Amino acid sequence: MDNEMVDLVMDDARERMAKAIEHVRIEFANVRTGRASSALVENLLVDYYGAETPLKQLANFSVPEPRLLVVSPFDKGAMAMIEKAITNADLGLNPSNDGVVIRLAFPALTEERRKSFVKIVRTKAEEGKVALRGVRRHARQELENLEKDQGLSQDDLEHLEKVLDKMTQDEVAVVDGLLSHKEQELLEV
């Protein structure tokens, strides 16, 4: 049996699980808490002279106060385009443009809004867990194919499936930890 193939399958599974965790982190960052954060707007696409450009390539961000985000465009001519992109993103933020910077005041979250954000975050966490289980299922199928085609022994297959299950459980625990932290952040008044 060629161990190189097994290593490829396991490394691919590890890599894909890491990407799923990173995706969950990004999704969580896009869910607003009561504090100002550039993560909410930095990936917004701005129609910059006909090209869809992420806002983080067009401006710097600063947080002078906990509920205020200041967007400082590199090109003052892009102010209107940036302001329009933020308004169209429907984030519940009203940009205020003084000709030099754009200020985004984050309103305090109501209890009802916080609970709806918690539901959204739980849904995103569950989607992340489903993605992890999908990676495990795919890797299992690959290993079973190796058993049929390459002569992987039944004992090796069972051992690798246990390793895969442990890897999945560990990554699911990471998602649960991220979820717990984000819920605390959201419910903090």
Determine the pLDDT at residue 4: 86
| Domain boundaries 3-30+110-187, CATH class | mainly alpha
Instruction: Please give the model's pTM, rounded to 2 decimal places.
Output: 0.69
Q: Is CATH 3.30.1360.40 correct for 38-105?
A: yes
For each of the chain's 189 residues, which pLDDT tens digit applies?
468 888 999 999 999 999 999 999 988 887 766 677 777 788 888 888 888 989 889 999 998 888 888 999 998 888 889 988 888 877 777 888 888 899 988 877 788 878 888 888 999 999 999 999 999 999 999 999 988 888 888 898 899 999 999 999 999 999 999 999 999 888 876
Which run of H or E residues covers position 90? Answer: none
| Domain extent listing, the chain | 3-30+110-187, 38-105
Common-topology check for domains 3-30+110-187 and 38-105? no
Q: Cβ neighbours of residue 171 under 8 Å, at least 6 residues apart?
A: 17, 20, 21, 132
Determine the pLDDT at residue 189: 62
Determine the pLDDT at residue 29: 81
Determine the pLDDT at residue 10: 93
Measured between alpha carbons, how far is 141 from 159 in angstroms, rounded to an integer?
15
The angle subtended at Cα 43 by Cα 109 and Cα 132, nearest 5°, is: 85
